Structure 1
Amino acid sequence: MIQQHAPRGVYIHIPFCTNKCHYCDFNSFVLKGQPVDDYLDALEREMAATSLLLPPERIDTVFVGGGTPTVLTPEQMTRFLASVHRHFPLAEGAEFSVEANPGTTDPDKLRAMREGGVNRISFGVQSFDNALLERIGRIHDVDDVYRSIDNARAAGFDNLSIDLMFGLPGQTVATLQDSVARALALDLPHYSLYGLKVEENTLFHRMYERNELPLPEEEEELEMYLYIIDQLKAAGRSQYEISNFAKPGFESRHNTIYWRNEPYYGLGAGAHGYARRHRHVNIKGVQPYIDATLRGLPRLESSDVSETEAMEDFMMVGLRLLEGVSNAAFARQFPGRTIDGQFGDILMRLRDDGLLELSGDRYRLTEQGVLLGNEVFGAFITVHED
């Protein structure tokens, strides 16, 4: 049986940013010269068409990502947020997140965001080392971080998160320790951490190919990861997902939709969506996306997801959560199926290897499994015969 309820989460992509970071392979474009207002018109057309095709019943989370959504002017932000409310009925207490770059959130913009219903901001800080920020192509400095957090708090935002990166070129354990101390001194309710991945079609990949990217050794990168985990836990932020830490009640509700393999709307250039066992990817280019919305839904690819693939996805994303996956949740998505019945041999092998443990009706990563997560997730990928 395919999931019947409409998605309760909405992802919206704003693909513009002030510059392209050296490690970034996201669908983003430098703002200068872009038809931003035409893009917002196109987004509204896609919202209208989407809500007709799959009418929303109740929206619990909205996440606006990019790019850097906060490059919108206050007027554009006001207009954009109003269009979201027109097409998606937000439940009382819904989580409404916007990604931001430090230095792009002046008081006027924050006021527009607050008045438009935004109640959570995720700042892409990455590091508190100015030389390192410049090396990775970020346009902000540490002073911008402090100013942005102060402005957000003054505007009434208390649900704030920052991203930190480790394994960056030229980064040492000592410089990382300083960044972690500064990050924790801000006393925020949520922190995300990411190891650098050198992705194709990035400046860092070209540098890596030319042997010009001085990355830390694997052992040093692991030391960084373990250090951040220890410090965040000691500061009262629970690790609820491999890369995410929060005070109780401040976990990212929107991202948890992904990790529980639940449906979500995906709107904007290059956005992904998943509903009724059907996945889509939108056209990526800004003008091609705009043009496509004049003809209908701006799809690049659409595909049905077989039950076998959906069950594998459930395990791969669900085990990212430290609470793990339960047979009860599995049965809700796949009536008549059990985790053990579907994956018994894989589960036994992962338990024998010390990577998974069973607690009640939940399978979850062990401490060693957290460190070797990709090995665990990869075990659930099979040839689809459904």
Structure 2
Amino acid sequence: MTPRAIYIHIPFCSHKCYYCDFTAYVINGQPVDEYLEALEREMAHTVAEIPPDRIETIFIGGGTPSILSPDQLERLMNAIQTYFPRRASNQEFTVEANPGTVTPEKLAVMKQGGVNRLSFGAQTFRRDLLARIGRVHTVEEVERSVEAARAAGIDNLSLDLMFGLPDQTVEDMEESLQRGIALAPDHFSVYSLKVEEGTRFHHQLLQGKLPLPSEDDELEMYQLTRKRMKEAGYRQYEVSNFSRPGRESRHNSVYWLNQPYYGLGAGAHGYARGVRHANVRGVREYIRRTREGRPVAESHQVPTHEEMENQFILGLRLADGVSSSLFKKRFGKEPETVFGPVLESLKHRGLLQQKKDAYHLTEQGLLFGNEVFAAFLGEAV
């Protein structure tokens, strides 16, 4: 299948958060304009190799894409239009933004370029905790950024929140949820902290200087999130995501439905024509490699058994689950033929259920999702 979704990575930020292991670099001294020029070259190489169809979703992530200047943002928008000119009439076009980095000028450029959705990284509404995790924005900047986006005519907004942060309490999470919901965004992504190797938090953890909440408190934060979101009219359509009706992240759903997408930029991942690839991570190496062709660091043809495993591992994250009929249409086999023993075992343990045409996580399975997903690895017959 030809991708109808595009992910573009902007690896620059004003400050590296203490939990971040993404491809991201502090912008001072970075060759930003050269990077944007390299992105255009990668776009040219990519569409020559994989000509695009009508594009349905675009997602610009980072890093902090909103750290670019208005002129740089305009250049990026023009490049996207040049190389991916065919767009669906109802296209979803998202840009990640840190509160405090959006201005009326930047918002106007994004709006003119077709951006109709912004994802703000609020993370928490406890002031001292923002500093504790390495965030440089304030609580007030979250509120002002949401107001500015709406004033610019971009009203499809998402907020990111985190739980399980060092020194965070259940009461802190309650306050963050209340203040976030009061801003009335259309969508929330609420994730638990995962301490990744190589991050500042990982070093603190090894030194015994990272006071994380207990597992019981973290579970209570998650359950509190689910309760408050439901009360406020948000549907949990994915393990960590909640939305107003019709405002689900269509771009992220491409990943969960195991569909193809273009991946552009340093460190970006893509999936097209049965091949998954990862680009080189270094900015200067990325720039150099685009002068020779696509800056791919590694790639592999995904075998059918791995495709089938991914269909369940990713698809079970969704509240709608994995459709048996769509699975058979894609792979020519019933799920029971491929994963019979696994499915029966998970159902017997109360982690999985079958409703009509689809398999879903149970309430218990939702809390032990990683265990469920891991059960499918290497199990395709």
**TM-score, normalized by length of structure 1?**
0.97
Amino acid at match of 2:24: S
Aligned equivalents of 1:68, 1:109: Cα separation in 2: 13
Cα distance between partner residues in 2 of 1:72 and 1:11:
17
Residue number in structure 2 paired with 1:13 = 9
- How far apart, CA to CA, are the structure 1 residues paired with 2:182 and 2:379? 48
Say whether 1:34 aligns with 2:30. Answer: yes
CA–CA distance in 2 between the matches of 1:291 and 1:122?
Answer: 31
**Residues 52-201 of structure 1: matches in 2 within 5 Å?**
52-88=48-84, 89-201=86-198
State the partner residue of 1:277. 274
Write the distance in 2 (CA, Å) between the matches of 1:150 and 1:225.
27
1:117, 1:142 → 2: CA distance?
Answer: 28
Shift of 1:327: 1.4
- Partners of 1:64 and 1:18 lie apart in 2 by 17
2:330 pairs, out of 290, 308, 333, with 333
Read off the aligned partner of 2:180 and give its amino acid letter.
A
Point out 4+ residue stretches in structure 1 off by more than 4 angstroms. none
Alignment of 1:220-259 (within 5 A): 220-259=217-256
Which sits farther off after the overlay, 16-25 or 83-92? 83-92
Q: CA deviation at 1:290?
A: 0.3
Report the CA distance between 1:120 and its aligned residue: 0.3
CA distance in 1, matches of 2:334, 2:259: 17
Instruction: Report the alpha carbon displacement of residue 337 of structure 1 after superposing the two structures with TM.
Output: 1.2
> How is 1:328-367 mapped onto 2 (pairs within 5 angstroms)?
328-334=325-331, 336-367=332-363
Please say if 1:215 is aligned against 2:224: no
Percentage identity across aligned positions? 54
**Paired letter, 1:115:** Q
- AA aligned to 1:87 is Y
CA–CA separation in structure 2 for the residues paired with 1:291 and 1:303: 22
Q: Letter of the 2:206 partner, please give it.
A: E
Distance 1:165 1:362 in 2: 30
- CA distance in structure 1 between the aligned counterparts of 2:116 and 2:329, rounded to whole angstroms: 30
Q: Unpaired runs of 5+ in structure 2?
A: none
Instruction: Check whether the contact 2:306–2:380 (CA below 8 A) recurs between aligned residues.
Output: yes
- Please provide the CA RMSD for this pair: 0.9
Deviation string 1:128-169 (CA, Å, 9 cap, x unpaired) is: 011000000000010110110010010001100000000000
Q: For residues 262 and 207 of structure 1, what CA distance do their matches in structure 2 show?
A: 38
Task: Give the CA deviation at 1:331.
Answer: 2.2
| CA distance in structure 2 between the aligned counterparts of 1:71 and 1:376, rounded to whole angstroms | 38
* Distance across 2 between alignment mates of 1:277 and 1:327: 21
